[in-house]
Amino acid sequence: MSWFRRGTFALLCAGALSAAPALAQRQAGPGRPADFLDPGFHRGRRDALRQLMPAGSVAVILTAPVRNRANDISFLYHQNPDLYYLTGYDEPDGVLVLFKEPQTVGGQSGVTEALFVQPRDPKRELWTGRRLGKEGAKQELKLQYVADNKDFATAGIAWDKFSQVLLPELPTDVRDEADDPADLFNLVAALRQQAKVPADYNPRLTEIHQLISRFGVVNADNLRPYITNQASQQPALAADAYVQAYLKADTKEAREKVVAARPATRFDSGALNNALDELRAVKTPEELKLLRQAVRISAVGQQEVMKALRPDMGEMELQGLHEYVYRKYGAEYEGYPSIVGAGANGCILHYEVNDKPRVGNDLVLMDCGAEYHGYSADVTRTVPPSGKFSPEQKQIYELVLAAQEAGFQACKPGAAFRAPHEAANKVIVEGLKKLGIIKTDAEVRRYFPHGTSHYLGLDVHDRGGYGPLQAGNVITVEPGIYIPEGSDCDKKWWNIGVRIEDDILVTSNGWENLSKEAPRSVADIEALMAKPSALDDFKLPVLK
């Protein structure tokens, strides 16, 4: 969920070289886990994407930038999930090119896929870890054509012959490394020059054009307000003649004429995004194996923290316990910054500071998810540090739980993506009215301000088209009620924040709760919290 920036090697000074740790997510070499996705999986994903590409087209996917944290120190590198999905490549400064029809690249004919990677460099690898290089990438990742990134500009790709160039948003905030002529900055520059990408290329604009083309007539009631809102925030949309013509069209016939007159362009991000949304939204068996592992690890983390939790513990300590469990089971990272909020902090949806030194007797909302081999879980539980819910806490908690149960029942193939939200929202509206916290349906947004579901996978908020649910979708169901201090209701409800979130696999005939091992009911939570924890006797020295 964070963006990262690349650091550079520092100058040789006083005989010591300081190097930025721009490490790959998983490094080449011996001793690595054996259950990463197989090269055959990635090859299958490339073939599936190629099938969805228009005739005569080429698609380009770039590696993610490395992001600077402070001075010459970088954040740990995290690959562009799209590129990882298609290749398994985990290093920076690379580019993947997919061709709808076979091409000649670097003198090799019949090429449908070309990956350009950073070369081996023993001096840098001493500091920042092993690289695959072109030979290693070809051997381990099994791509058809692999070359050094410095060869991208001279590979002889005939860009002018393609009817469409499918591009993502090109990064504009990438650092130019003076000692690396083929870093991401230079790869983007070479792509712009070789493919003649217009200086004002705006992928967001092409996406809006495509939305108008696809939904401008059949779903105008929803699309027009959305585009109006987007145009109010983005000057390029507000100034675009096609967008304005559509917004001014006030009849079905007028909209049909606008849709038919969509401006032609060779450069298109919408088609690429739509194809990747379609593919990544439906998980393969290989993906589900890793996702199940990430979710189970996260559920066990919730169990262990529930048993260890005491009122004298701090939010940061609880965060550390979750993340220790993740590492213990081999999960490399968190899928997003852990959220551990006690009392008033639990009413902040994306509270990430986690620095309250003592949680006391307030409810603690713990929204935490392990990332296992790139796949992220997203599990939330809300529990009382005392081990017992107060009457008010229990009433709000059980209302959210009932809403979640309603959301579960709405998860089935063919249902609208918003069906779980609509079901959960109805329960919360009725419940808050009965408790006297709201008087009208519209007031529910004060206390339940977010949607109930999002896709889950390589991103915690994963790709997907948000159309009808399909078997193979993995989504969250996460209703919540948040009543901050000063709310227009009885003070006894103030600073109660409850969210319950589970990771749901849509199956051919319904749904499966992947995170069911984390207790949800009041009785099950209180029973688990009464059990001893392996951490009860863990004592560290007192720092003086």
Residue type at position 205: L
**Strand (E) or helix (H) holding 164:** strand 164-166
Domain boundary among 150, 170, 195: 195
Chain position carrying tokens 């999960």: 331
In tens, the pLDDT along 258-308 reads 989 888 788 988 889 999 999 999 999 999 999 999 999 999 999 999 999
Least confident of 219-228, 370-379, 413-422, 521-530: 219-228
Instruction: Report if residue 276 sits inside a domain.
Output: no
- pTM listed for this prediction: 0.91
Does 219 share its domain with 303? no
Instruction: Report if residue 288 sits inside a domain.
Output: yes
- Residue 12's pLDDT is 25
Least confident of 146-155, 195-204, 451-460: 195-204
Domain boundary among 264, 296, 314: 264
Contacts of 193 (CB under 8 A, 6+ apart): 153
Instruction: Report if residue 333 sits inside a domain.
Output: yes
- Which pLDDT band, with edges at 50, 70 and 90, does 9 fall under? very low
Does 314 share its domain with 241? no
Instruction: Report if residue 392 sits inside a domain.
Output: yes
- CATH code, domain with 114: 3.40.350.10
Does 259 share its domain with 322? no
Chain position carrying tokens 């990742």: 141
Average pLDDT, the chain: 92
Does 359 share its domain with 259? no
In tens, the pLDDT along 98-150 reads 999 999 999 999 999 999 999 999 999 999 899 999 999 999 999 999 999 99
In tens, the pLDDT along 84-110 reads 999 999 999 999 999 999 999 999 999
Does 233 share its domain with 379? no
User: Apex CA 88: angle with CA 5 and CA 455, to 5°?
Assistant: 75
- CATH code, domain with 470: 3.90.230.10
Least confident of 4-8, 260-264, 436-440: 4-8
Domain that holds residue 76: 39-195
Does 94 share its domain with 46? yes
Cβ atoms 191, 172 nearer than 8 A: no
Q: CA 432 → CA 145, 258, 347, 418, 481, distances in Å?
A: 60, 45, 16, 21, 9
Instruction: Report if residue 187 sits inside a domain.
Output: yes
Burial 40-54 (b: 16+ CB within 10 A, else e): eebbebbeebbeebe
Does 432 share its domain with 322? yes
Q: Flag whether pLDDT at 475 surpasses 50.
A: yes
Does 227 share its domain with 319? no
Cβ atoms 438, 432 nearer than 8 A: yes
Q: Which of 209, 109, 114 is nearest to 153 (CA)?
A: 114
Does 242 share its domain with 295? no
Segment 434-441 shows an average pLDDT of: 98
- Residue 263's pLDDT is 85
- Which pLDDT band, with edges at 50, 70 and 90, does 28 fall under? low
Chain position carrying tokens 């350009």: 116
- Residue 11's pLDDT is 25
Does 211 share its domain with 299? no
Does 121 share its domain with 145? yes
- Domain total in the chain: 3
Q: Flag whether pLDDT at 21 surpasses 70.
A: no
What percentage of the chain reaches a pLDDT higher than 90? 79
In tens, the pLDDT along 173-205 reads 898 888 899 999 999 999 999 999 988 888 888
Instruction: Report if residue 1 sits inside a domain.
Output: no
Q: Which of 318, 267, 297, 343 is nearest to 59 (CA)?
A: 267
Domain boundary among 195, 224, 256: 195
Angle between helices 241-248 and 220-233 (to 10 degrees): 140
Instruction: Report if residue 27 sits inside a domain.
Output: no
Residue type at position 437: I
Count, residues in the chain: 544
Instruction: Report if residue 259 sits inside a domain.
Output: yes
- Which pLDDT band, with edges at 50, 70 and 90, does 538 fall under? confident
- Which pLDDT band, with edges at 50, 70 and 90, does 311 fall under? very high
Q: CA 290 → CA 15, 46, 66, 154, 455, distances in Å?
A: 45, 20, 25, 38, 15
In tens, the pLDDT along 201-237 reads 888 888 888 889 888 888 888 899 999 999 899 898 8
Does 255 share its domain with 374? no
